[in-house]
Structure 1
Amino acid sequence: MPKVTFQPFRSTLMAATMLICFQAVARADDAALTSSQFADANALYGTHCAACHNGDRLGGMGPALLPESLTRLRGSMLNDVISNGRAATQMPAFDQVLNKTEIDLLASWLRQPLSETPSWNMANIIDSHTVFVEPNQLPVKPKFTADPLNLFTVVEAGDHHITILDGDTFTPLDRFPTRFALHGGAKYSPDGRFVYLASRDGWVQMYDLYSLQTVAEIRVGVNTRNVAVSDDGRYLMAGNMLPHTLVLLDARDLRPIKQIPVDGDHGQSSRVSAVYTAPPRQSFIIALKDFPEVWEISYADTPQPVYPGFVHNYEANMVEALDVQYGPFPVRRIRLDDGLDDFFFDQDYRYLVGAARNGRDGQVINLNIGRKIADIALEGMPHLGSGITFEYQGRPVLATPHLKDPKISVIDMESWETIKVIETLGPGFFTRSHENTPYAWVDVFFGPNKDAVHIIDKRTLEIVKTLRPEPGKVAAHVEFDRSGTHALLSIWDDDGAVIVYDANTFEEIKRLPMKKPVGKYNVFNKITYSEGTSH
């Protein structure tokens, strides 16, 4: 069967403000526009932007143009993108079309919220669903000889592509375009065959790693945080910032099953910070932005489908599988004294660790009994989502970087006491390791030493090596191969690279040029929930 080429943004019209869509942020000092200015800006948008982004600013061929979905361009950067465009995208330069006053006005207008909260209902979701290749037409075996469980999905944010990398030879097998502002965290089906990708603009894409082609896509919201895959491979759960909903999908072809409003007790609703899979619990865990609650949604009591999975028996089982009855997916609300951000779980998914909104500590929640059992000293905004676990002197520990402080905190996961604080050259973003290596790798993402990466001996909790792979450029996000013998590191730059290191000697093995490779995700480590990587 011929390969389907996925081209989500092809257009003969100018893709005005394409990059603005995902990367602008509202500034507190932006003055409200007068009615005349608002009308002028609205006319500019209608002339230059609506063809790609729709008149309602909710996105079309181009992404949504809303403050909630525009997160990174600060200050004059938004104006600069409108003026100069962006390389390797369809965003053109408008400095010859609009004058400075018009550009400034349009930029300010794009930062204004809509008069009404955007909606994206089940009818919208269903209408957006496209299946490019029917699952029963996919091959049973991979089209390549590489180990399918040692592949890496590399997210290249510089030009919005994914590279599928052979983890044995470190050679690319495929490179394909994605939706803009793709969330870094790729998620896999339990057998490792399919990878699911979510964009901030609400699109979810399903890609087959055996035949190297896109299978399906769907838009689940206007601004989406991430997706999670059930441990049995049946379901995909997406969490939205806009609208305030969760969306449950059939993982076989992304067909929508259910939209769940995230509503509180008194008519208020909440944005979703993140969705996680808790395999031993057969449930999804939901982090909420606006309520002091954690939600757990179980799929354990739903009927088992006739069709057992994607990899085998397509022809025999596909028709029967489509008739599976879904439900009921009960919501369990765990009420807390304080809101939590950025979750971390122990390996058994009995304990949830979250950073408290007060910025001074963390909280440990026992999910079995549904309440807080301990506080942890975690000031400095810990990035728990990229923490790791390992055994230290016979006890399980959690190691997490901090987004504001130059340190790594090591926490005893039995007493919940801080064992050690490891001083670093600056605040970090990612900590990574593997069961088969005695070392943990930590970046120094923020500050003047952003090009440094520390290597910590897990046996002594001491820094034994500091690398500077590309002076002056951000070095971040290490991910190990299946065996733990190689560590892959990203240079976060449009002229960046993935660098392969020997995990024992720390010597560079290979350097692969890439366009801002913000994340790399090994199939085996992800589907086995390795203690050295994020889940």
Structure 2
Amino acid sequence: MKLNKLLGLAAATSFAATMAMAGTSSMDFAAKYEKECQGCHGPIHQGGVGSDLRPKALKKQTREMLVEKIMNGVENTAMPAWNSSFSSDDAAGMIDWLMDWKNTVELTLDLDEVKKTWTKLADVDALAKKYPVAKDGAIKGGEVKNVKDITFATERDASLVDFIDSTNGKVLSRHKAGFAVHVTVTNKANPRYAYSISRSGKLSMFDIGAPGQPTLATVQVGQESRGLAVSPDGKYVIAGNYNPGGAVLCDAHTLEPLKAFDTSRVIDPDGQIGPSRVASLADTPYGPYFAMALKDGGHTYIIDYSKEGFPIVGDIPNIGKILHDAFLNEDEGEDFG
């Protein structure tokens, strides 16, 4: 009996010490969450790949359990152990911050605000005239024979996009393109142009047919972004946002923003109204359509980019919760998964 009391007292003392140390942490919890956590747990802590971290969900577990998960990770999930960069008081402090967090700022996607961030960095037409690229991608007199031989690599933590000659492995150029560059795609109709989107919401356009693969233009489409797609006709590029939720459609020749699709108020599979992130975007071979998956909304919008105003002409509901990625069954022409 005495042993049980001693063990209980020791456990309580250890736990109390862990909680007390939360006040000694110098960690910037908001900044740490933004950089390391929100990609999986969401900008408003609603979960996704990771679990729901809002106060109501966290209260279902003890503080000791939560600290343990931060420090040692969770088996069979994407949650890693953070004990190499968190001390116990950092972990306890993060729990305190999460428990007290309130979503006091509701952001909505505003096209006028996005337009203000558009920046032209080079003359697209002048470069195309000076350094012509044939329809098959052949570059006249360039250090690379064909733009299709140029491979992209994203250096996530360095915030860089690298262009590499795939025939010999030579790095041709490296460009700053926003924090945690997430996706880089080419314009299939005009493969001299490439686009990247960073997690910090920076959309960039490059001319890979010109020496040095210069950045042609940039635009800040949001605070937190993920997906990217280019229309098969080469006229439009669309970028998806986590925060503020939605997508921005731009002119693929200039990168000028043309329309914003706001998803700050959508109905989710449980019938609740709230914001939804947009993780996956796809250009479809079946018609002049972009497919835009609402990650938290559980449905997919179909956007017709051939019509004036780029209307949403389809809404496929009740697909499921947390729509993170997609693929097209191009052989059958029927499935979007």
Determine the C-alpha separation between the residues in 2 that align with 1:348 and 1:233.
Answer: 22
From 283, 286, 289, the counterpart of 1:280? 286
The alpha carbon displacement at 1:224 in A equals 1.3
Partner of 1:189: 187
From 307, 315, 323, the counterpart of 1:333? 315
Query: 1:24·1:78 contact (CA, 8 Å) conserved in 2?
Result: no
Within a 5 Å distance, the mapping from 1:218-367 to structure 2 comes to 218-262=219-263, 263-264=265-266, 267-300=273-306, 302=307, 326-336=308-318, 338-339=320-321, 340-348=323-331, 350-354=333-337
**Residue deviations 1:120-171 (CA, integer Å, cap 9, x gap):** 4223211221111121231333542332111100112242222211122221
Note closer, same or farther for the CA distance 1:22–1:349 as it changes in structure 2 (3 Å cut).
farther
Query: 1:230·1:277 contact (CA, 8 Å) conserved in 2?
Result: yes
What code does the residue aligned with 1:188 have?
T
Partner of 2:35: 22
From 117, 122, 126, the counterpart of 1:137? 126
The alpha carbon displacement at 1:103 in A equals 10
Note closer, same or farther for the CA distance 1:108–1:74 as it changes in structure 2 (3 Å cut).
farther
Query: 1:281·1:349 contact (CA, 8 Å) conserved in 2?
Result: no
What code does the residue aligned with 1:213 have?
P
Note closer, same or farther for the CA distance 1:349–1:202 as it changes in structure 2 (3 Å cut).
farther
Partner of 1:424: none
Determine the C-alpha separation between the residues in 2 that align with 1:181 and 1:206.
Answer: 16
What code does the residue aligned with 1:186 have?
T
Partner of 2:135: none
Query: 1:146·1:168 contact (CA, 8 Å) conserved in 2?
Result: no
Note closer, same or farther for the CA distance 1:74–1:281 as it changes in structure 2 (3 Å cut).
farther
**Residue deviations 1:267-307 (CA, integer Å, cap 9, x gap):** 5442223111113322111122223322211123x3xxxxx
Determine the C-alpha separation between the residues in 2 that align with 1:215 and 1:255.
Answer: 11
State the SS of the aligned residue for 2:286: helix
Partner of 1:174: 173
State the SS of the aligned residue for 2:255: coil
Gaps of 5+ in 1: 1-14, 33-70, 81-99, 303-325, 355-535
What code does the residue aligned with 1:115 have?
T
Query: 2:300·2:315 contact (CA, 8 Å) conserved in 1?
Result: yes
Query: 1:78·1:107 contact (CA, 8 Å) conserved in 2?
Result: no
Determine the C-alpha separation between the residues in 2 that align with 1:329 and 1:349.
Answer: 26
Determine the C-alpha separation between the residues in 2 that align with 1:269 and 1:353.
Answer: 23
Determine the C-alpha separation between the residues in 1 that align with 2:303 and 2:281.
Answer: 10
Determine the C-alpha separation between the residues in 2 that align with 1:156 and 1:221.
Answer: 20
Determine the C-alpha separation between the residues in 2 that align with 1:29 and 1:258.
Answer: 32
Determine the C-alpha separation between the residues in 2 that align with 1:108 and 1:146.
Answer: 57
Determine the C-alpha separation between the residues in 1 that align with 2:113 and 2:332.
Answer: 34
The alpha carbon displacement at 1:189 in A equals 1.0
The answer to whether 1:122 aligns with 2:123 is no
Identity %: 23
Determine the C-alpha separation between the residues in 2 that align with 1:76 and 1:122.
Answer: 42
Query: 2:178·2:201 contact (CA, 8 Å) conserved in 1?
Result: no
Note closer, same or farther for the CA distance 1:203–1:123 as it changes in structure 2 (3 Å cut).
same
Query: 2:181·2:196 contact (CA, 8 Å) conserved in 1?
Result: yes
Determine the C-alpha separation between the residues in 2 that align with 1:29 and 1:330.
Answer: 32
The alpha carbon displacement at 1:252 in A equals 1.3
What code does the residue aligned with 1:140 have?
Y
Query: 2:155·2:180 contact (CA, 8 Å) conserved in 1?
Result: no
Note closer, same or farther for the CA distance 1:105–1:207 as it changes in structure 2 (3 Å cut).
same
Query: 2:245·2:276 contact (CA, 8 Å) conserved in 1?
Result: yes
State the SS of the aligned residue for 2:309: coil
Note closer, same or farther for the CA distance 1:154–1:126 as it changes in structure 2 (3 Å cut).
same
Determine the C-alpha separation between the residues in 1 that align with 2:29 and 2:143.
Answer: 39
Within a 5 Å distance, the mapping from 1:473-512 to structure 2 comes to none
**RMSD value, Cα:** 3.5
Note closer, same or farther for the CA distance 1:19–1:149 as it changes in structure 2 (3 Å cut).
farther
The alpha carbon displacement at 1:108 in A equals 5.8
Query: 1:22·1:181 contact (CA, 8 Å) conserved in 2?
Result: no
**Normalising to structure 2: TM-score of the pair?**
0.65
Determine the C-alpha separation between the residues in 2 that align with 1:335 and 1:31.
Answer: 29
Note closer, same or farther for the CA distance 1:337–1:160 as it changes in structure 2 (3 Å cut).
closer
Within a 5 Å distance, the mapping from 1:450-529 to structure 2 comes to none
State the SS of the aligned residue for 1:345: coil
What code does the residue aligned with 1:121 have?
D
Determine the C-alpha separation between the residues in 1 that align with 2:324 and 2:275.
Answer: 17
Note closer, same or farther for the CA distance 1:238–1:337 as it changes in structure 2 (3 Å cut).
closer
Determine the C-alpha separation between the residues in 2 that align with 1:348 and 1:177.
Answer: 37
Note closer, same or farther for the CA distance 1:17–1:132 as it changes in structure 2 (3 Å cut).
farther
Note closer, same or farther for the CA distance 1:118–1:136 as it changes in structure 2 (3 Å cut).
same
Determine the C-alpha separation between the residues in 1 that align with 2:221 and 2:34.
Answer: 17
Determine the C-alpha separation between the residues in 1 that align with 2:310 and 2:124.
Answer: 25
State the SS of the aligned residue for 1:24: helix
Note closer, same or farther for the CA distance 1:328–1:175 as it changes in structure 2 (3 Å cut).
closer
State the SS of the aligned residue for 1:123: helix
Query: 1:278·1:349 contact (CA, 8 Å) conserved in 2?
Result: no
What code does the residue aligned with 2:215 have?
T
**Residue deviations 1:195-227 (CA, integer Å, cap 9, x gap):** 111111211111110221111111111221211
State the SS of the aligned residue for 1:344: coil
**Normalising to structure 1: TM-score of the pair?**
0.43
Partner of 1:200: 199
Note closer, same or farther for the CA distance 1:31–1:270 as it changes in structure 2 (3 Å cut).
closer
